Amino acid sequence: MITNEDIVKLIAKGDYSRLGIELGLSIGRENKLCQLISDLKEDGDRFASVMAWKGETGHWYCDGCNNNGEYEEDIQHASDCPITLHAKLYAKIEKAGI
């Protein structure tokens, strides 16, 4: 990420092509961040509507994928379950260092 000090140095050197590259990379990263945040908010809305509930058999069920487990934390969610998709999005954010 380019700092204000770096910008000043590049301008002082007259290295406008490098300045353009650095600013372009910063803007690209900012756009990527904004998109990830937007996706996270949208995903969070879907995720909030998914609930686990305890059935008559005593097992817990996920409304998102209908998988179950003896305890809520034992549910093995499907790959397209909103809970799984939410976890994958968080992993992307962590991998991106955001």
Cα–Cα dist 51/36, whole Å: 24
Is 63 a residue whose pLDDT tops 80? Answer: yes
pLDDT in tens, 16-34: 777 777 777 777 777 777 7
- First CA to last CA distance, the chain: 12
pLDDT at 23: 76
Share of the chain above pLDDT 90, in %: 15
- Check if the beta carbon of residue 11 is closer than 8 Å to that of residue 2: no
pTM of full prediction above 0.85: no
- How is the chain split into domains, by residue range? 4-95
Please state the separation of Cα 13 from the chain's center in Å: 38
pLDDT at 96: 73
75 exposure class (CB count in 10 Å sphere: 0-12, 13-18, 19+) = buried
Band the pLDDT of 70: cuts 50, 70, 90: very high
